[in-house]
Amino acid sequence: MSLRRFIVPMSAFAVQGCAGLQSALDPSGAEAERIGTLTWLLIIFSTAILVAVCVITAVALFGGERWRARISGERTVIGGGLAFPILALSILLGYGFYLMAPGSTSARVEGGLRIEVVGERWWWRVTYVDESGRRTESANEIRLPVGRPVELELTSADVIHSLWVPRLAGKLDMIPGRTNVLTLEATEPGISRGQCAEYCGGPHAFMSFYVIAMPEDQFSSWLSGEAEDALAASRDQAAGQALFLSSGCVACHRVRGTDAQGTIGPDLTHVGSRHSLAAATLENDVAAFVRWIREGQHVKPENLMPPFEIFTEDELRQLAAYLDQLR
């Protein structure tokens, strides 16, 4: 009775976990689809073996004399205990190698779009390097063209992180002083969620990001927009911009096209256009900017941005409105 009361809600959670932005069982990328295929194959195969073993056990316990004699014979032991496992596992292993091989660096596209992703405590520095070698820095969000394999060059600025977008591919570690290459190929437009999959200190659980797969033409127009400098602040935003430039924000953050040239923290040139703030910790709106600036240490404890409790409510709103319109 109590077991049932426990299992029903838990299984509801489990079913929930299979759908959504961060589920390996709901793939939308080439590698994740292959992983999905392999996963289902293994699950079905293992289930079949389990059922077979249960049946044989039942026969051994309750079956007739003739059946029991048959399964205790040497042929059953050699066939079912040696030949079958060796054969079945070898086939599965071979199939696994065959299936997962295209996910390796063999798919390298010379001169194509590359994305450098640097794991930082506790956010992602994302730099797009396009066909012409132009570099566009962004943060905490990765955009991909649908149907084109894109190389992600992964490294870390401090400790070991790991990049995992379950809907698109398996995970790959980001190791200081080393570059690992992960190829992502989105098969349909949409949003997936990824996160750091290697414990990297206090706010590790808040080190996430969104991956947005876009049709090719939308992606290229987005990338050229992203490469632009920030628009000049309108008159309404002038007060917010002045606060941003004079209160120390620029020591760590860059907004291209202004005097803000800091490189310690995330590039904020187009921060208003991203799907989240603080590495997918908060929604992206004016209220979230206010919260992050004033009480970032409560929202994401131990993150490396110092608390800025120096602003009045009005100043905070001006500053947040300025950041929000950086699109």
Nearer to other proteins, 45 or 308 (CB): 308
CA angle, residues 251, 254, 257, in degrees to nearest 5: 125
Nearer to other proteins, 73 or 248 (CB): 248
Gap between the Cα atoms of 321 and 327, Å rounded: 12
Positions touching other proteins (CB under 8 A) are 157, 245-248, 250-252, 259, 261-264, 304-310
Q: How far is the CB of 229 from other proteins (least distance, A)?
A: 14
Q: How far is the CB of 308 from other proteins (least distance, A)?
A: 6
Q: How far is the CB of 272 from other proteins (least distance, A)?
A: 22
Nearer to other proteins, 273 or 297 (CB): 297
Q: How far is the CB of 297 from other proteins (least distance, A)?
A: 9
Nearer to other proteins, 229 or 309 (CB): 309
Gap between the Cα atoms of 179 and 157, Å rounded: 11
Nearer to other proteins, 259 or 285 (CB): 259
Q: How far is the CB of 252 from other proteins (least distance, A)?
A: 5
CA angle, residues 232, 236, 242, in degrees to nearest 5: 65
| Cβ 23 vs Cβ 191: under 8 Å | no
Nearer to other proteins, 103 or 119 (CB): 119
Q: How far is the CB of 110 from other proteins (least distance, A)?
A: 25
| Cβ 162 vs Cβ 171: under 8 Å | yes
